[in-house]
Amino acid sequence: MLRKMLTMELTVTMVFLFLTSTVTNSTTEEETKGFSPGDILKVEYLGVDPPVVSYGEFDVAVFYMEYWSSVEGGVKIASKLFIPVGDAPSEGWPAKVWLHGFGGPGYDFWHWPFIEEDWRGRGYSAGTAFANHGIISLCPWVTGAGPSEPFATYSPLSLERNSGCAYDAFRALKNLPKYFEEHKEVAENVDVDVEIDYDRLIMSTNCISSPTLIYFASQLDENKDVKIRCLVADTFLPSVAYLSHYIVPYSLECNGLTASAS
């Protein structure tokens, strides 16, 4: 009985998050002045780890990064940045933007703000795995997830917002080499060569972000400044309705007490 109640509580919480409506961004017009989509606001060094897979070639330097997005009239997006340690290939590292699934936000920012080793989480392992093989990986907490603005408004149903956040992540990657060149103190404790091959840009999503990937693909013609070489769906779940099909029966059985507890 307890197990069933806990399952229903989790379900109601998920349904509530699915249905969370977009709120007006609190960022004022004054605060948006001078920022363009993809402008890098902050980069902080977190640490270096060896490969998470035995056949990984590179150690990985991990950073916390904030960039500006045009979503909701202008918001700050938080992310983790994973860079292979060592010299880049002559043409630069390939780079990818990786969007978390529904469980990703919970795993990834439970411990926000990071203290000591708290920056290791679900998004950490995925980003590290890619960078182990020589791919710079930028993993945003999409709009409204974790510390990303507008605060606490994340929904996997917000395809336009989430896609816009991803496009601006690629614009941030374009600004990355210059940022590291102008802020050498960011990488003073690690040997990273921030050179990117912009002919090898990858867009990748996990689980419930799959619908965002589909919407992202539909917007390629409207974002011609971002040249994507490859789209990758990791754990492909293209339909939120498909997932909701399994949630609804539990939510309909919830009594008032269980719903209130959730």
Task: Answer whether residue 25 shows pLDDT above 90.
Answer: no
Q: List the domain range (segments joined by +) for residue 162.
A: 37-241
- CATH number of the structural domain spanning residue 135: 3.40.50.1820
Q: Which candidate, 168, 197, 209, places its Cα nearest to that of 66?
A: 168
Note whether residue 255 is domain-resident: no
Note whether residue 253 is domain-resident: no
Average pLDDT, the chain: 79
Task: Answer whether residue 2 shows pLDDT above 50.
Answer: no
pLDDT, residue 99, reads 87
| pLDDT tens-digit readout, 67-96 | 999 999 999 999 999 999 999 999 999 999
- Lowest mean pLDDT, pick from 28-32, 169-173, 186-190: 28-32
Q: How confident is the model at residue 151 (pLDDT cuts 50, 70, 90)?
A: confident
Note whether residue 197 is domain-resident: yes
The CA distances from residue 197 to 62, 73, 92, 128, 146, in Å, are 19, 30, 5, 19, 30
- My answer on whether omega of the bond before 113 falls inside 30° of 0, hence cis, is yes
Tell me which DSSP letter residue 133 carries. Answer: T
Q: What is the pTM of this model?
A: 0.78
146/113 Cα distance (integer angstroms): 10
73/66 Cα distance (integer angstroms): 17
58 Cβ contact partners less than 8 Å away, ≥ 6 residues apart:
51, 84, 85, 86, 131, 132, 133, 134
Asked whether the beta carbons of 146 and 9 are under 8 A apart, the reply is no
Count the domains in the chain.
Answer: 1
Task: Answer whether residue 120 shows pLDDT above 50.
Answer: yes
Note whether residue 202 is domain-resident: yes
Note whether residue 135 is domain-resident: yes
Note whether residue 53 is domain-resident: yes
Q: Which candidate, 104, 80, 99, places its Cα nearest to that of 17?
A: 104
The CA distances from residue 50 to 81, 82, 85, 92, 136, in Å, are 15, 12, 10, 21, 15
- Lowest mean pLDDT, pick from 21-25, 53-57, 257-261: 21-25
Q: Which candidate, 201, 250, 204, places its Cα nearest to that of 9?
A: 250
Q: In what order do the strands lie in the sheet with 75-84?
A: 40-49, 60-69, 75-84, 136-140, 93-99, 196-206, 230-234
Q: Which candidate, 50, 79, 61, 7, places its Cα nearest to that of 247?
A: 7
